[in-house]
């Protein structure tokens, strides 16, 4: 497929974990940082995974990768369902990732599984909505950019409260 246009993204990562000694030793600093981008409301507080001396109350890069995959998938599903006339009334995804750590401390993701749960107003369109979830992977720029398996185990149910609204 031909390229239509280029998009540019910019983000700043600022380390906030200098405890007064910089990186004088592996335990002399913390891994806290902030992610900011022009025009955004608030910074994203980041750190490393607690297994790597990070702050468990802050987002780590691995969680942000899951978030990017999950959000990209959701945004395409919303778009494609709207185009297909499928009315989504609720959407939630629980993403899981598996990272394998090597002896030298490096690692890589080997698999991510998305578990979206979606409610739609018309229960007769459940099969169509599930098919859209399967097609979405090919459209999501994030999913197309990673070198590991991304599975989608979608569950679509009828929104019983809304079913009467469309009758």
Q: What does the block give as tokens for 149?
A: 């398996």
CB–CB of 71/92 below 8 Å? no
Interval 104-159: pLDDT, tens: 989 999 999 999 999 999 999 999 999 999 989 899 999 999 999 999 999 999 99
**How much is the pTM?**
0.89
The pLDDT value given to residue 162 = 52
The residue ranges of every structural domain in the chain are 1-59, 61-166
With pLDDT > 90 as the criterion, what percentage of the chain qualifies? 87
How sure is the predictor about 2, in pLDDT bands with cuts at 50, 70 and 90? confident
**Which superfamily is assigned to 61-166 in CATH?**
K homology (KH) domain (3.30.300.20)
The length of the chain in residues reads: 167
Q: 152: closest CA among 99, 82, 76?
A: 76
Rounded Cα gap, residues 115 and 9, in angstroms = 27
Tell me which residue has tokens 């790597």.
52
């Amino acid at each position: 497929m031909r390229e239509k246009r280029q998009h540019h993204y910019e983000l700043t990562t600022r380390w906030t974990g200098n405890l007064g000694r910089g990186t004088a030793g592996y335990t002399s600093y913390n891994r806290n940082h902030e992610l900011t981008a022009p025009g955004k409301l608030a910074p994203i507080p980041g750190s490393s995974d607690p297994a790597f001396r990070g702050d468990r109350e802050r987002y780590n890069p691995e969680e942000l990768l899951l978030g990017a995959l999950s959000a990209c998938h959701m945004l395409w599903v919303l778009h494609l369902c709207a185009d297909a006339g499928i009315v989504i009334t609720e959407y939630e995804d629980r993403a899981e990732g598996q990272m394998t750590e090597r002896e030298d401390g490096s690692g890589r993701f080997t698999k991510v599984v998305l578990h979206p749960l979606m409610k739609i107003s018309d229960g007769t369109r459940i099969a169509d909505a599930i098919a859209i979830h399967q097609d979405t992977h090919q459209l999501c720029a994030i999913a197309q950019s990673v070198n590991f398996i991304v599975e989608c185990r979608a569950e679509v149910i009828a929104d019983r409260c809304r079913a009467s609204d469309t009758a």
